[in-house]
Structure 1
Amino acid sequence: MKQLWIIFALALLVLTGCSSETATAERPTDGEGLYKFGCLSCHGENLEGTVGPPVTNMKAKYSEEEIMKLINDGVGMMPGGLLSEEEAKTVSKWLIEK
């Protein structure tokens, strides 16, 4: 019986965590915040790349419009449409400055 209560308590904690502030948190509006929101898991905290390629020195490789197209349309394993058009524009500008 004691094990049942422990399992119940742990399940309750997990479910509470799933419905915490992240579900109601506002989406960031700045380039860095949007990058962390939608890109960091694949491209790394320092733009160094993890699962996805590094996104350092983008200004030398692409124009702002080309970066925006990559974000909107996706490429290879990267899905498009993770950010809105306006968010993609904001992240593109931010990446050009990095």
Structure 2
Amino acid sequence: MKRLWIVIALALLVLAGCSSNTANAKRPTDGEGLYKFSCLSCHGENLEGAAGPPIINMGSKYSEEEILKLLNDGVGMMPGGQLSEVEAKTVTKWLLEK
């Protein structure tokens, strides 16, 4: 039972770190800025991973459509819908260059 509470607490910490209260902050419009604004806390400053997995070389693993779907729908503990459709497309194109 103690292990279950530890897992739940860690999951809540990860989710809290990945979703920040940025409603009042000015949102960037470029891919790198949007990544830093919405994704960096989980995927690291250099895409190396942190609470979330590394996402370097995404273009060698996924198509543009697949990356866009991941951003829009989420996967595993990564929530979807953190970016608007336009923002998700911008970040997708930026990730394909990394």
TM-score w.r.t. structure 2 length? 0.75
In the aligned structure 2, how far is the partner of 1:53 from the partner of 1:77?
11
The higher radius of gyration belongs to: 1
Residue deviations 1:17-44 (CA, integer Å, cap 9, x gap) = xxxxx77542100000000000000000
- Residues 14-93 of structure 1: pairs in structure 2 closer than 5 A: 24-93=24-93
Gaps of 5+ in 2: 1-21
- Can you give the 5+ residue segments of structure 1 that lack an aligned partner in the other structure? 1-21
Residue type of the alignment partner of 1:91:
V
Separation (CA, whole Å) in 2 of partners of 1:45 and 1:86: 22
Cα shift readout 1:2-24 (whole Å, capped 9, x = no counterpart) = xxxxxxxxxxxxxxxxxxxx775
Distance 1:97 1:62 in 2: 12
User: Percent identity at matched positions?
Assistant: 81
Against the structure 1 CA distance between its residues 27 and 65, is the aligned structure 2 distance closer, same or farther, given a 3 Å change threshold?
A: same
Tell me how large the CA RMSD over aligned residues is.
Answer: 1.3
Q: What TM-score results when the alignment is normalised by the length of structure 1?
A: 0.75
Instruction: Could you list the structure 1 runs, at least 4 aligned residues long, displaced by more than 6 angstroms after superposition.
Output: none
